[in-house]
Structure 1
Amino acid sequence: MTYVILQPCCNDASCVAVCPVNCIHPTPDEPEFMRAEMLHIDPATCIDCGACVDECPVDAIVPEDELDDDDSRYLALNAGYFDVHPVDDMPMVQNKSWRKGKFSDLTVAVVGSGPAAFYSALDLHAAGAARIAMFDKLLTPYGLARFGVAPDHQSTKAVTGLFRSLGMKKNFTLHLGVTIGEHVTHAELLQHHDAVIYAVGASSDRRLGVDGEDLPGSHAATEFVAWYNGHPDYANAQFDLSGERAVVVGNGNVALDVARILLSDPEKLAKTDIADHALEALRRSSIREVVVVGRRGAAQAAYTNPEMLSLLDVPDLDVFVEESEVAPDGVTTAMLEAEDTESAVRTKVALAREVAERAPSGASKRLVLRYLLSPKAIRGDGRVESVEFVRNRLQFDTDRRIVAIPTEETVALDAGLVLRSVGYKGRPVRDLPFDEGRGVIPNVDGRVIDPDTGEPIAGVYVTGWIKRGPSGVIGTNKKCAVDTVDALLQDHLEGILTPAGLPAESLISIIEDRAPDALDYEGWSRIDKAERSAGKERSRPRVKFVDVESMLAVARRS
């Protein structure tokens, strides 16, 4: 018997370290890791020891004989990975000799409190750093784990349990409600710490660049996600759900999330931590169909197979695919016939074609997946009424990459709501260089560089999406953070870092003076406890506070 990794997999890779037979891949040392949609267990190598089960932070691993019908596909998903990546071909683990150094005098500031920030802090703590201080402009930590993960994916949110363990460590301090660049400058952080790691994510959205994009009824999907997840900056946002159809442009996991939330039974969502204002709006919603549109084919779809499979399990929902848009074509056929094509890509095509052949069940709501369409314009008289698309065809470019080429054919879809989901983008950080084109802080292996000289800026590092762009899942940030911390530790041992010139206590005084509403971990713990308590009364994981005043009132209780 083998164990099987399921949809909640967050790619944290804690399971990899405890496997005695090296059967879980890709590992963080393998090049496939950073682009893998999930981890996989090789059924031919697994010895049924169960060590990985206890280590998984999101309960994503089960024995084969406990798979239910909905999860049975994951056995093939796990095994298929090793058809392309046999265990015998896996690289050796890198020997990190610098990890044996002494870091008991190292002090580091971490800006941001999402997964990348906490993974960095956890790794610094494990290395023996003397002091780790974390800063976030919001009054609640965990970033996208709180405000990005869909409310019906509670198992994925469980990764915050790992981060919670850091809160009471003596060498860790949390400063919430502190904006770097406003309350504390970048220079002041460096004066009080040996190094600074920026893990500020990618909070902006990429635009479509088409006419009508700013019409009322056209929104960034990032705003919609923040709204239903209770982000205080978006608690008062308004979305018109009075029409029967919504169109989501882009087909990544976020696109599938917003489509699923729009079409899910509100009473099932009422058992999650969705924001109350969003729940009430969804109860009044008239939307019965969501069309998710991608510019290339099913093989190139940005969503992951686990997200697609979870979509097929939504009750009272028919999922449709236009058969002509997933029919075999020369480019896709050539790609599927190539020996090195990933099993995940083959599965995407197979799933899309399977759905296209399904007969409708008569469900009250529909989700339609469209491919090979690029937005041309958003139309409407004073507000969104329709979206015009141009039909694409696939071809290989000179580098044998598959690209979408527009044709003369156009397609129009009526819609009262349009959500743009074509990617996140980082925002500039005051006093740091910024790459506007990529939406990241320029860096090499996590070391921030001067774009004019290409030389590293001593003591300044990045991790997460602001380092590499918006890619991967929550656990991907662990590998990203460890790589950045590796660079920082090596620089410390080589004497590259400038020691902090001022004591930590003086920075505390600055924060108390400039950000009097700032909270520490104890203050956040009071908010956390109050949210969980309110949730328990309503059989929910938590009921989120969505306004600053309520959070501060709870945090200040003695």
Structure 2
Amino acid sequence: MYIAIIGSGPSAFYAAQALSNNDNNKVDIIEKLFAPYGLVRYGVAPDHQKTKNIIKLFNRVLEKENVNFFGNIDITEGISLNFISDTYDAVILATGASKDKMLNIKGENIPGVYGSSQIVGWYNDDPKHVSLSPDLNTENVVIIGNGNVALDCARILAKDQKELEGSDISSSTLKRLSSSKIKNIYIFGRRGPKEAKFTISELREFKELENFSIKVNFSRELIETYINDDSIDTRIKKNLEIFNEFYDIKNKNKNIIFDFFKSPVEIIGDQFNKKVKIINSNKDTTIINTNLIIKAIGYRSSSINNLKMDESNNFLLSNNGYIEKNIYATGWAANNSVGVIGTNKARSLDVVKKIESEIVSSKNNSTDKLIEELKRKNINFISKKDWESLDHLEEKNAMSNFIREKFRTTDEALKALKQT
């Protein structure tokens, strides 16, 4: 059976791993960008290399003879989904969720107001976002959201070069961060510390920051009351215990401020001078001057080929992974964008089982037909061998004490390949 997987993030590789265990299956991973790994390469923070170690597993999948990789292929512009569906026995959409959810407040589209996918993409050298120029000369940064992505954004903005050693952050991004004038990073949540979606390990990292003290705009007495409340979940208590420890961190010249029960209601100003209007549960108003606002309130998928979306327009509508004809979906493309990297492994395995029970192999030479079509359309695709070369070059070009120097654009990658 010939199966095309659109996308190359964790869900795609989990599906490819399961499918490739059957030698009769031929799996082609088709990726919009020149590099594989999706969320792991471009979403996981550069200082979280342990999390990125999952790439070693994905590489073992890529090494299999019955798995191919085709990068730099956009199914909305180059090869169509209809062509892929007609050419392969089955198609799995594992395109993730890369669009930011909206606050739906006035001023949200003013330049300098970013979704977290943009900022995360910027500091991770995602080709879609490397051209961004967030204002790091502003004294105040406002981050809206109480999940791990909000913590990632705050932590990366707070770290200096020494703290980022051992990461895969690029020299150009590091240079920008090193000249930052940021003094205060506000993390606003519309609910309280009990409801925050932070994981313990991410929250704990803030205790180790060299240049920023941590402030919690919430009653310590109430935090301690929560900690001693037997009805509160253990995971929540562990987070609260870390918040309680934040009160004892000595003051520094710069601050990260956790502020709860606060909601943005309006962003006022223009590209160069902005204010965020915040209200609390008592309807009291706070105004913060800032030129960098980050919305970290979740992601949603993009529609593909006019396929139906769910009622909230967040992900592709499917019946346990089945969409239509021979097309299936998995991961964040087919479910709410929640959980860690391994969360969607079970869903990918379920989709694979569904395909193997429902699809009868009838196609031949699908990979050859794909390559013929790519050549006919003069698409400069990145092969598995090409990616191996680029991967080696990124590691070779790394700064001292850093993991790799990523190619930041497709043109850079293609140029490097011509020189090898």
TMscore range, shorter length: over 0.9
Q: What residue number does 1:380 align with?
A: 269
1:218 and 1:384 in contact (8 A); partners too: no
1:110 and 1:199 in contact (8 A); partners too: yes
How far does the alpha carbon of each residue in 1:250-277 deviate from its partner, in whole angstroms, 9 at most, with x for none?
Answer: 1211110110111111233254211222
1:425 and 1:470 in contact (8 A); partners too: yes
388, 397, 417: which one aligns with 1:555: 417
Once the two structures are TM-superposed, the CA of residue 350 in structure 1 deviates from its matched residue by 2.9
1:297 and 1:326 in contact (8 A); partners too: no
Is 1:465 aligned to 2:356, yes or no? no
1:325 and 1:370 in contact (8 A); partners too: no
Q: What residue number does 2:315 align with?
A: 440
278, 295, 307: which one aligns with 1:389: 278
Q: Using a 3 Å threshold, how does the CA distance of structure 1 residues 254 and 328 change in structure 2: closer, same or farther?
A: closer
Is 1:413 aligned to 2:280, yes or no? no
Q: Give the partner amino acid of 1:377.
A: E
Once the two structures are TM-superposed, the CA of residue 498 in structure 1 deviates from its matched residue by 6.8
Q: What residue number does 1:227 align with?
A: 122
Is 1:313 aligned to 2:208, yes or no? yes
Once the two structures are TM-superposed, the CA of residue 381 in structure 1 deviates from its matched residue by 5.2
* Structure 2 CA distance for aligned equivalents of residues 173 and 416 of structure 1: 44
Q: What residue number does 1:516 align with?
A: 379
* Structure 2 CA distance for aligned equivalents of residues 515 and 136 of structure 1: 17
92, 99, 120: which one aligns with 1:197: 92
197, 202, 209: which one aligns with 1:302: 197
Once the two structures are TM-superposed, the CA of residue 478 in structure 1 deviates from its matched residue by 1.7
1:21-420, aligned counterparts within 5 Å?
106-324=1-219, 327=222, 337-338=230-231, 342-355=233-246, 357-358=247-248, 360-380=249-269, 383-392=272-281, 407-420=282-295
* Structure 2 CA distance for aligned equivalents of residues 541 and 131 of structure 1: 32
Q: Using a 3 Å threshold, how does the CA distance of structure 1 residues 180 and 326 change in structure 2: closer, same or farther?
A: farther
* Structure 1 CA distance for aligned equivalents of residues 333 and 54 of structure 2: 21
Once the two structures are TM-superposed, the CA of residue 365 in structure 1 deviates from its matched residue by 2.3
Q: Using a 3 Å threshold, how does the CA distance of structure 1 residues 430 and 515 change in structure 2: closer, same or farther?
A: farther
1:263 and 1:289 in contact (8 A); partners too: no
Once the two structures are TM-superposed, the CA of residue 178 in structure 1 deviates from its matched residue by 1.0
* Structure 2 CA distance for aligned equivalents of residues 169 and 329 of structure 1: 53
2:98 and 2:301 in contact (8 A); partners too: yes
397, 400, 403: which one aligns with 1:541: 403
Q: Provide the identity percentage.
A: 29
Secondary structure at 1:530 match in 2:
helix
Q: Using a 3 Å threshold, how does the CA distance of structure 1 residues 217 and 183 change in structure 2: closer, same or farther?
A: closer
> Highest CA radius of gyration, 1 or 2?
1
Instruction: Give the TM-score normalised by the residue count of structure 1.
Output: 0.71
* Structure 2 CA distance for aligned equivalents of residues 381 and 176 of structure 1: 38
Supply the RMSD in Å over aligned alpha carbons. Answer: 2.3
Once the two structures are TM-superposed, the CA of residue 430 in structure 1 deviates from its matched residue by 1.2
2:28 and 2:367 in contact (8 A); partners too: no
1:216 and 1:384 in contact (8 A); partners too: no
Q: What residue number does 1:499 align with?
A: 362
1:523 and 1:556 in contact (8 A); partners too: no
Q: Give the partner amino acid of 1:386.
A: K
Number of corresponding residues: 420
Once the two structures are TM-superposed, the CA of residue 208 in structure 1 deviates from its matched residue by 1.0
Name stretches of at least 5 consecutive residues in structure 2 with no aligned partner: none
Once the two structures are TM-superposed, the CA of residue 442 in structure 1 deviates from its matched residue by 0.6
How far does the alpha carbon of each residue in 1:430-454 deviate from its partner, in whole angstroms, 9 at most, with x for none?
Answer: 1422236141111122122xxxxxx
Secondary structure at 2:85 match in 1:
helix
357, 360, 364: which one aligns with 1:490: 357
Instruction: Give the TM-score normalised by the residue count of structure 2.
Output: 0.94
Name stretches of at least 5 consecutive residues in structure 1 with no aligned partner: 1-105, 393-406, 449-456
* Structure 1 CA distance for aligned equivalents of residues 270 and 380 of structure 2: 45
Q: Using a 3 Å threshold, how does the CA distance of structure 1 residues 504 and 382 change in structure 2: closer, same or farther?
A: closer
Q: Give the partner amino acid of 1:425.
A: R
Q: What residue number does 1:86 align with?
A: none
Q: Give the partner amino acid of 1:517.
A: N
Q: Give the partner amino acid of 1:552.
A: L
How far does the alpha carbon of each residue in 1:326-357 deviate from its partner, in whole angstroms, 9 at most, with x for none?
Answer: 82699x799x543xx532122223322342x4
Is 1:529 aligned to 2:392, yes or no? yes
